Amino acid sequence: MQNQTTVSRRAFVSAGAFAIIRPELVRGSQRNSAVRMALFGCGGRGTGVASSFSTVTAAQYVALGDLFQEQTERSQSLINTAASKAGKAPINSGMLFHGLNSLERLLALKEVDAIHIATPPYFHPEHLEACVAAGRHVYMEKPVAVDVPGAKRVMRAGERAKGKTTLAVGFQLRHATPYVQLVERVRQGAIGEMVCGLAHYYASALPQPDRPGAGPALRRLRNWLHDRILSGDILVEQNIHLIDVNNWIAGSHPVSAQGTGGRAGRQDQGDCWGHYNVNYTYPGNVHITLTSTQFGEGGWDVAMRYFGTLGAAEMHYDAPVRITGPRKWEFPLGSTVPATETAAAVVGAFKGALDDADAMKQKRFIESIVSGRFINEAEQGAESTLSAILGRQAAYTGRIWTWQELLKLEERWDARLNLASLV
């Protein structure tokens, strides 16, 4: 895992010679014109979010980039279907780029205002740095990194972008209307002083193709969700959404963590763990326990509960979202919320409390660009990522880790992938 960066990986994100872009693209889209976006990383989540952007905002996807040509073509078809339903122009086939220099080619396009980064998390810091250097607005999927040095790189890139461009990170749960209303009530004292909490993310296995004709390196990259270094492991890649909500409602990052876990139960060829049990301590000696699974066929169930001196707050991905106790309250979600299926959950297509989460997040991103009131979520994204890494480190080592101890880690994870050999 030492820092042995290969030339081929550098080439994939080369930022050596970008076109000089017009000032109005740095400040935001021209008045009365749609924000023009490019998707970099054309997997299921990126394509799904891009299709949502096309449907719920005025944004127009104009270009796609990925290491693999078939990924861009598949994504083009799905995004064009969404764009057509919204009365928007399709992505032209001449605006599909693949190979090691695909990000460089996207950033050289004067037609692109914003880059949507949806590559494996391992590459996020480097891809973000290239986009910030080119003066583009960025919407980057979570987590922002897989290790501590990577999270710090993201914070530094965020500092360079402040006041110049919008930089958003895909923590959409903070924008779900039921959650927003509940957190406001908690902040107003609806449950009294928070004492402790419980959060769980019980997921079935995330199936990936066996790819029998692929070599080990190609299989790792194409099935990166099963790879610990490329994804950050399940606590950092998937469960981070709950950790971000914990930080949000606690108003702080954790001060320490202890945990356990392991790979038992998983049947895939990767090395990610199958379950975690982590206890986080927040300021004020508030304890929040997070448990998670990602194996088998046990179905999906995701929820958070917070207990205070006057009552309790309960937040599910589906339903209910409510406060119990003297100041009880419940968001009206109805009684017919469908159960989540694995295929939908893999790309974040949850129903119920999260119905408007992606839409609200995406609308805020576009509005920030058009209005010139740029948002910058690099610090929040890095803080939640570091909080997840804190729990992972505690579980990996079997001992308590503190926040300050974590920040001293200098080890950079190295995937040891020669991308040029895979194209």
pLDDT digits (tens, 9 = 90+) for 308-340: 999 999 999 999 999 999 999 999 997 666 666
User: What pLDDT score was predicted for residue 12?
Assistant: 45
- Whole-prediction pTM: 0.91
Report the CATH superfamily, name and number, of domain 7-173+372-377+416-421.
NAD(P)-binding Rossmann-like Domain (3.40.50.720)
The rounded distance, in Å, linking the Cα atoms of 421 and 423 is 6
Q: What pLDDT, on the 0 to 100 scale, is given for residue 223?
A: 95
Instruction: Give the model confidence (pLDDT) of 276-296 as tens digits.
Output: 999 999 999 999 999 999 999
End-to-end CA distance of the chain: 23
Element (H, E) at 278: strand 275-282
Task: With H, G, I as helix, E, B as strand and everything else as coil, classify residue 76.
Answer: helix
Q: Which residue has the higher pLDDT, 53 or 21?
A: 53
What is the distance between the alpha carbons of residues 256 and 408, in angstroms, rounded to a whole number?
14
- A 10 A CB-CB count for 4 gives 8
CA atoms within 13 A on the CB side of 19: 15
Fold of the domain spanning 175-356+380-407: Dihydrodipicolinate Reductase; domain 2 (3.30.360)
Q: Which residues pair with 290 in a beta bridge?
A: 199, 278
Dig out the tokens for 322 from the structure: 């409510």
- Strand partners for 137: 114
pLDDT digits (tens, 9 = 90+) for 219-260: 999 999 999 999 999 999 999 999 999 999 999 999 999 999
Q: What is the mean pLDDT of residues 159-183?
A: 98
Residue 247: the pLDDT is 98
Write down the pLDDT at residue 2: 39
**Domain map of the chain by residue range?**
7-173+372-377+416-421, 175-356+380-407
Angle between helix axes 44-56 and 69-85 (nearest 10 degrees) is 20
In the prediction, which pLDDT does 27 show? 41
